[in-house]
Structure 1
Amino acid sequence: MAAKKSVWASVVAAALLGLMWVVFESGFFDPQGGAAGSATGPAAEQLAELRVAQSVSMDGYSRERFKHWITKPEAGKNCNTREAVLARDGQNVRSNNACEPTSGTWTSVYSGQQLTDPSAIDIDHMVPLANAWRSGANKWDDQRREQFANDMELPQLVAVDASSNRSKGDQDPSQWKPERANWCSYATSWITVKRSYDLTVTEPEKKALQEMLATCG
């Protein structure tokens, strides 16, 4: 009887191990954060609409082709895009007559780090200029590129700590991600910008965005 119980226990254990392997391989289990599920909602629907294509050549690319930071008179006298974003994204921001922020508090949307020194803050392009070039902006005229580089209507410009910005560089979400707690908002913003400007995504980029959107909710 004991032998039969031992054999039965082995069979059950083997079956459970097999089931766990199937679940792991199917992607429904995330070893870093538990059950991952699948991405749903408006952002996932917008991602499905993006055209998948390989990155194009960087031939002809230059940051100067994306003029920034331009004057933003609607933000105040003497203000440019960088200063306007700092005023928008900070708390208790004080600026001088040249519209340069002199004090305030900012929270980096990539790391969660709190910053009080305006000179230590970078204004990052959510979709980097070089990435945009590789995914369709190479065909734009310079006016369209200037609009993209200074767009404050979309979540394209964000105040972040310099370290995160340097780490990100021009990489897409398959190559760089912010802290996991910010995956949902980051992926949603990335997709919003790419869809609004009709930019393409690569296969690895799309897969990474789906993984990040699965943390929403």
Structure 2
Amino acid sequence: MPTTRTVRNSLTVLAGVALLGSITVGVADATPPGIPSAETAKSQLAGLTVKPDGSQTGYSRDKFPHWIDQGNSCNTREMVLKRDGTNVQVGSDCYPTSGKWTSPYDGATWSSPSDVDIDHVVPLADAWRTGASSWTQEQRQAYANDLSDPQLIAVTDNVNQEKGDKSPDQWKPPSTGYWCTYAKMWVTVKYKFKLTVNSAEKSALTDMLGRC
């Protein structure tokens, strides 16, 4: 029997057949840099400080200036769209005029960049609660625009909105086959930026890395 799942506005996709416009189902294309091996991620997870999340007080996305200029008329969002897409063509302003983006979170493929969000794998609000509230504005800007680590990835917009600022104990990608990779990305970002994890988060990450 073919498997089914719901993609965007409760559309049901059967056996990889698209039912609306540019939506298709396929192999994930988006691959941020710096994804560690499972063994490295497990070691990094063991090295993270475990403590309850801090307060959300004072948080604002404005304190994490993002989509900054990256040169050649491109901002951070446009750089990730070019990196994570297939056959991406851009105009003089660096905004994509064509291309396809496959979201590894749910396996859906989109041909309009407006259907794609650039997700902060470890959300800005989560970072604030787990250490970034004490950073300088410059440090938070560097975090929000990090193109060197697996912190930014092109994904289906409404799936990203469902994620919000939830940690892996509260939200996981709909595609269970991506849980290992997602956990590896989450852990290495927290490890690099010296962010903390709470006990439920660590337990969820341990389970997810166990799928690798």
Q: 1:195 Cα deviation (Å)?
A: 0.2
In structure 2, the residue matched to 1:189 is: 185
Q: 1:83 Cα deviation (Å)?
A: 0.3
2:197 to 197, 201, 209: 201
Q: Secondary structure at the match of 1:105?
A: strand
Structure 1: give runs of 5+ residues left out of the alignment. 1-39
2:130 to 130, 135, 139: 135
1:123 to 103, 114, 118: 118
Larger radius of gyration: 1
Are 2:57 and 1:59 aligned?
Answer: yes
2:97 to 99, 102, 107: 102
Q: 1:42 Cα deviation (Å)?
A: 1.5
Q: Secondary structure at the match of 1:160?
A: strand
In structure 2, the residue matched to 1:10 is: none
Number of equivalenced pairs: 174
Distance in 2 between residues matched to 1:78 and 1:58, nearest whole Å: 34
Distance in 2 between residues matched to 1:163 and 1:80, nearest whole Å: 22
Distance in 1 between residues matched to 2:147 and 2:56, nearest whole Å: 26
Q: Secondary structure at the match of 2:200?
A: helix
Question: What does 1:7-156 correspond to in 2, within 5 Å?
Answer: 41-73=39-71, 77-156=72-151
Please identify runs of 4+ aligned residues in structure 1 that moved more than 3 A: none
Normalised TM-score (structure 1) = 0.79
Structure 2: give runs of 5+ residues left out of the alignment. 1-37
More helix by proportion, 1 or 2? 1
Q: Which amino acid aligns with 2:83?
A: R
Distance in 1 between residues matched to 2:207 and 2:181, nearest whole Å: 13
Q: Secondary structure at the match of 2:170?
A: coil
CA RMSD of aligned residues (A): 0.8
Normalised TM-score (structure 2) = 0.81
Q: Secondary structure at the match of 1:87?
A: helix
In structure 1, the residue matched to 2:7 is: none
1:173 to 164, 168, 176: 168
* Superposed CA offset, 1:81-114 (max 9, x none): 0000000010100001110001101110211111
Q: Secondary structure at the match of 1:171?
A: coil
Identity among equivalent positions (%) equals 51
Q: Secondary structure at the match of 1:41?
A: helix
